[in-house]
Amino acid sequence: MTPVRHLALAIAVGAALIIPTEGPAAMNDPAAARQDHPYVGMWVTDDGHVRHNLLPNGRYDEARGDRESAYRGRYEVRGDHIDYWDDTGFTADGTFIDGVLHHGGMILRRRE
């Protein structure tokens, strides 16, 4: 499947498409690029109140305080920029700077 067909398919099914920057092999296999993307994983505010779990399938699950799965949706990363589309229609974005996620006035750090 060509990259254009991948994009068309992703748009048609509402899937997130992470644009790989690792070279031609990654561009031919977007699913593998998502799973290996360095931003996949858990991102947490210093007080632990907000927790973003960026899943390898292009979905996210956000917890707030004691409320697990407070928000769910899809995300897309382009370079160091992330866009979120909540399942309720809400949109947001953020930027990764020096290994820190800046999102909606919050700072989230990678939890190992």
pLDDT at 28: 40
pLDDT of residue 35: 56
- pLDDT above 50: residue 7: no
Contact at 8 Å (CB) between 54 and 75? yes
15: containing domain:
3-111
Residue 111 has pLDDT above 90, yes or no: yes
State the Cα–Cα distance between residues 34 and 96, nearest whole angstrom: 16
Task: Specify the number of domains making up the chain.
Answer: 1
Q: Residue 18 gets which letter from DSSP?
A: -
Q: In the structure, what pLDDT confidence band is assigned to residue 36 with cuts at 50, 70 and 90?
A: low
Average pLDDT over residues 74-100: 96
Q: What is the CATH number of the domain that holds 68?
A: 2.40.128.290
Separation in Å, CA 108 to CA 47, 64, 99, 100, 105: 10, 13, 9, 6, 10
Separation in Å, CA 3 to CA 38, 59, 86, 100: 21, 20, 25, 30
